[in-house]
Amino acid sequence: MQVAFFGTPELAEVVLVALEKALAERGGKIAQIWTRPPVARDRGKRVQASPVSLWAQERGYAVREPEQLGGKEAEFLRAIDLAIVFAYGEKLPREVLVAPKFGCINLHPSLLPRWRGATPCNAAILAGDKTSGWSWLRMTEEMDAGPILMQSESAIGGQETAEDLETRLVAEAATALPALINGLANNTLEACEQDSTHATYAPKLTREAGLLDWRTSAEDLARRVRALAPWPGTWCPLAVPTESSERLKVLEVRASDKPQESKAIGSVLRGEKAEDALQVACGEGGTERLILLRVQRQGRKPMTGAELQRGFALPEQLPVP
């Protein structure tokens, strides 16, 4: 079997390694690797190839990096049996989708039809979902709406970040590649059409989504911190926002499960001892507490909440948006 792979970020390498092994076991190979073209990827604006491109070049694979996909690219895929897609970063046009013999099969880290779209793991944690999963589906022109070929469900860990969850789900889904490829080759996979009436959508994230609102419950705030890690990250202003006011990055937190007395929302609560956890009053009536475990000031290294309160004059109350 001759297979093409479409993908761009570093996490796609997990799928590539598993695909390479699965094909070798049945005498096939990765014949083509497609990825997004080089872009400026750091503060110095240096143009760099994608992680998938670097991975492929190190192993001697030919790499295609078109600005756009169209009929010209589809011609290359007509000699291919199958295309495996994960996080390519651009919508595949119809002429590309139908070019390979067995079509284009996409890995999506969610239990479709729940959380179609760009950020399924972030959305699942934000919504408080108890479970998530992965889906291998046949691609159609409508985003993430094609028939499901394989799917698996698992619980979301209580402290899993969106990055942790996506990494785990992709690794689990990659182990299913031998069964997926054999099923396609032998025509033994039963495709299950999605019920679009149950579809939910995970939009792209913005930096503004990371602002913490202390009027929100401690549990919701803790989920937001996990859901938006590492990007766009969560933060709060240390004073009434102005052009020069400092933002505090909030990297890791825990919601206190103990009942608390009412305090002004946003109040900074310090323990009696220097090593005591730093807490912020939040939720309705300020009766809940968000414990700041790890934070980062602008231009500084990450530190614990206790270290922050020892070395920085925190305000009595953090601003409420």
Q: What is the pLDDT of residues 2-36, one digit of tens each?
A: 999 999 999 999 999 999 999 999 999 999 999 99
Residues 33 and 130 in one domain: yes
Is residue 254 included in any domain, yes or no? yes
Is residue 319 included in any domain, yes or no? no
In this predicted structure, the answer to whether residue 280 has a pLDDT above a threshold of 70 is yes
Per-residue pLDDT, 265 = 97
Burial of 288 (0-12, 13-18, 19+ CB in 10 A): buried
Residues 33 and 164 in one domain: yes
Q: What mean pLDDT value characterizes the chain?
A: 94
Split at pLDDT 50, 70, 90, the class of 258 is: confident
Split at pLDDT 50, 70, 90, the class of 46 is: confident
Q: What CATH number is attached to the domain comprising 273?
A: 3.10.25.10
pTM of this prediction?
0.93
CA distance 180 to 186: 10
Residues 59 and 107 in one domain: yes
Per-residue pLDDT, 270 = 80
| Domains of the chain: total | 2
Residues 69 and 167 in one domain: yes
pLDDT in tens, 136-184: 999 999 999 999 999 999 999 999 999 999 999 999 999 999 999 999 9
Residues 174 and 215 in one domain: no
CA distance 262 to 132: 35
Task: Give me the percent of the chain exceeding a pLDDT of 70.
Answer: 96
Split at pLDDT 50, 70, 90, the class of 291 is: very high
Determine the structural domain holding residue 59 and report its residue range.
2-202
Split at pLDDT 50, 70, 90, the class of 95 is: very high
Residues 149 and 260 in one domain: no
What number is the average pLDDT over the span 186-199?
96
